Amino acid sequence: MTAPTLTLRSPADGTVLGETPITSAAEVHAASRRADEVFRSRVWSGRTPRERAAVLLHLADLMARDAETLARLDCEDAGKPITECRENDVPSAIESIRWFAEAVDKQYGTTTASGPDVLSFTEREPFGVVAAILPWNYPLAMAAWKVGPALAAGNSLILKPADATPRSVQHLAALAAEAGLPDGVLQVLPGDGPTTGAALAEDPLIGALSFTGSTATGRTILAAAAASNLKRVSLEMGGKSPQILMDDALSFGDELIEGMVESAFLTSGQNCTDSRGSPGPS
């Protein structure tokens, strides 16, 4: 029986860009078992923070080397202007990876006040297996926001890109392997929400899940997490909303109007923050 696939099409003209598999629930659970085995082996989680940072910094360098390829993939898959991909999305993704790589050895536990004969302290530890579900409007940038902290902390990460925009994320995973990330530490599972995403939310081996997308899907993920292992869930749920310009705001002049226009139409209209903030998914 032929495995189900998704056809990738350019939003610009409908051109077929390729096919990508829909990762089944059984494949998701196999991936989480693999991620757990790798985590427990300590091939990555057992490395020192600076050793992990070195791999991530190498990854950032490789992303810079392949910046044009990464920009083209996001442009084609998401229908984003190539200039925006080149000048904003790809550079910010590279910067994110470098930032988390440099931050990882600056996270400390704390010693708490106690009696003279007692030493109490807290120590930070990775979750183990974590997962992240990405939106389609900032494929590479959002992947970097998830990859950076998850891998820097020593976790094993399963990434599910949006069904329409998996290619830059898949290329990122290939670059991570080239940078020296051990096999199984980062797995990219393309697919759709009802099949692949739902299996991730229900998987009992996944200790934390980060989701960026719609409010409706966020509710579904919370319910699945509660019904399975009460995994920690981080939700960034956005969307487009109307902007109302009141009379008493007109004193701000052209700057306000320009900001509202940019907020409404940046990223082909798929942006959910104002023009002075960091672009976010809708």
Q: Is residue 53 part of a domain?
A: yes
156 and 189 share one domain: yes
193 and 61 share one domain: yes
Strand 129-133 vs strand 186-188: parallel, antiparallel, or unpaired? Answer: unpaired
Q: Is residue 111 part of a domain?
A: no
191 and 253 share one domain: no
Q: Is 76 a catalytic residue?
A: no
Q: Distance of CA 232 to CAs 6, 195, 224, Å?
A: 29, 20, 11
249 and 188 share one domain: no
Choosing from 75, 84, 85, 272, the catalytic residue is 272
Angle at 111 between CA 110 and CA 115, to 5 degrees: 160
Q: Measured on CA atoms in the order 41, 43, 48, 52, is the torsion positive or negative? A: negative
Q: Measured on CA atoms in the order 111, 113, 119, 121, is the torsion positive or negative? A: negative
CATH of the domain at 75: 3.40.605.10
- Residue pair 170/4 in contact (Cβ under 8 Å)? The answer is no
Confidence (pLDDT) at 246: 80
Choosing from 27, 37, 95, 236, the catalytic residue is 236
Q: Is 51 a catalytic residue?
A: no
Confidence (pLDDT) at 281: 42
Q: Which domain holds residue 141?
A: 18-105+124-238
Strand blocks (E) in the chain: 5-9, 16-21, 111-112, 120-121, 129-133, 156-160, 186-188, 208-213, 232-237
63 and 83 share one domain: yes
Residues of the chain with pLDDT under 50: 274-282
Dist. CA 275–CA 193, nearest whole Å: 29
Using a 10 angstrom Cβ sphere, with 0-12 exposed, 13-18 middle and 19 or more buried, the burial of residue 205 is buried
* Among 103, 205, 90, residue whose Cα is nearest residue 140: 90
Q: Is residue 227 part of a domain?
A: yes
Confidence (pLDDT) at 83: 94
Length of the chain: 282
Count of domains in the chain? 2
